[in-house]
Amino acid sequence: MTLSVSNLACYRTGRLIFSDQSFTLDAGEAVMLRGPNGSGKSTLLRALAGMLPFEGDVVLNGVSLGNDHDGVQEQIAYAGHLDAIKPQLTVGENLTFWARLFGGGSIDDAVEQFALAEIWDRPAHACSAGQKRRLGLARLVVSARTLWLLDEPTVSLDVETTARFAAIIKKHCASGGMALIATHIDLGLDTPREIMLDPNVVQKSAPSNDPFLSEAWE
Amino acid sequence: MNATLAILSRELRLALRSGGGAGLGLAFFLMVVMLIPFGVGPVPHLLAQIAPGTLWIAALLACLLSLDRLFQADFEDGTLDILALSPMPLEGLVAIKAFAHWLTTGLPLVIAAPILGITLNLADSAYWWLVISLAVGTPALSFLGAIGAALTVGIRRGGLLLSLLVLPLYIPTLIFGARCVTSASEGMDVMPAFQLLAGVTLFTLALTPIAAAAALRMHMR
């Protein structure tokens, strides 16, 4: 199980966010994605999840994102800035829905690891930001995917929960999983590798193939 | 199958909980139709004449009310991203969501319509065809609306734009649906209009998942 990325470049609204990113993740590895605000960490994670157009090659376990979009997406769990929680549903209903949709992961494990039992019956709109975040991250466990793409996962988590979450990432990696984590804090993982993204100084514009955008920025 | 049921039951639950808007369409339908006799005046033969068109137009507008949240809510809270990564293809997701919209918006209208027919003095012979034409026609309203909702998903306050996009597409369904009921009330042959109505619905059911999923992909990439 490997993720190999070569010469990855991303443009957004015709502006180059980053280019020439090449790295690999091996099975059992958690890699930190670092860089100042605006350096393209979120963009890189979304591109790897197949949710943004990109240039370059992304190959996950022998499947290329360019050729078999769905084949790659089926191996990925993504946790972004938004928790994807429905406020009208209870914590339990939210988690059960994701578990039934993805199939494969254990709800009991997720509840135990993220300490959700005490808020199980609470409507999600009555949860604190940290509790919502815990529920959002619990989705990673119930979806049972190989590669975790995590965008600032520890925002609004307390110290204890952050440590608990680091342990969950370790457990995921120990069972052969991979994680790419954009974060500013030290998660306390054992000797994690880091990928640095530099803010792009040269504001290169993209060769746009959008007929409505061409020459719009000249 | 499990994933299909999971999405369907979640959609129904969300629609029926507070802020879901399931009852909104029905209440709007009731209000609009009840207002017509006040506006037109208590002239039974006139009301009977405009009843089929009035009921169909009111049903069509009621369907539009809750369409703008069909994908917008999921887009705003990040659910749509996660659904895109799920084993359920976006085409399937669109079909399930549009079907759930019909169950919570279209179906109540089908059930309430004959009762409202009485207030408009609808001809006795037309009641069955009113129910049948709405039952066959309203799924097309939900599914066509799903295309509009997918196209306007990233746009703030896209509700009005959605109406402008979708209402012209509703015209064939409106014409053939209302024609069904009018023909039945005048004792004419209903089948030509009904077959065209059913044809429009079948075409829409086949086209919508592909069109709306393409629109959603465009917004997410």
Residue in A45, A72, A100 to test binding to B, most B beta-carbons within 10 Å: A100
Q: How confident is the model at residue A214 (pLDDT cuts 50, 70, 90)?
A: low
Q: How confident is the model at residue A20 (pLDDT cuts 50, 70, 90)?
A: confident
Q: Which of B77, B82, B221 sits opposite A78 (nearest CB)?
A: B82
- Cβ contacts (< 8 Å) between A86 and chain B: which residues? 10, 14, 77, 79
- Say how far apart CA B59 and CA B78 lie, in whole Å: 32
Residues of B with CB under 8 A from a CB of A: 2-3, 5-7, 10, 13-14, 17-20, 77-79, 81-89, 220-221
What is the 3 state secondary structure string of B56-97?
HHHHHHHHHHCCCHHHHHHHHCCHHHHHHHCCCCHHHHHHHH
Q: Which residues of A touch B89 (CB under 8 A)?
A: 70
Given a contact cutoff of 8 angstroms between Cβ atoms, the answer to whether A140 and A112 are in contact is no
With cut-offs at 50, 70 and 90, classify the pLDDT of residue B8.
very high
Give the separation between CA A62 and CA B200, rounded to whole angstroms: 44
Under an 8 A CB cutoff, do B6 and A101 touch?
yes
pLDDT for A119 equals 92
Distance between CA atoms of residues A182 and B64, nearest Å: 41
Which pLDDT belongs to residue A103? Answer: 84
| B77 vs A52, A85, A103: nearest CB | A85
Return the pLDDT at A206: 57
Report whether pLDDT(A218) > 50. no
**Domain residue spans of chain B:** 2-220
Is the pLDDT reported for residue A36 higher than 80? yes
> Smallest Cα–Cα separation from B219: which of B74, B89, B95?
B74
Best residue of A55, A72, A78, A88 to probe chain B, by most B CBs closer than 10 Å: A88
pLDDT value, residue A201: 55
For the question of an ipTM over 0.90, the answer is: no
Contact B14 A89 (CB under 8 A): yes
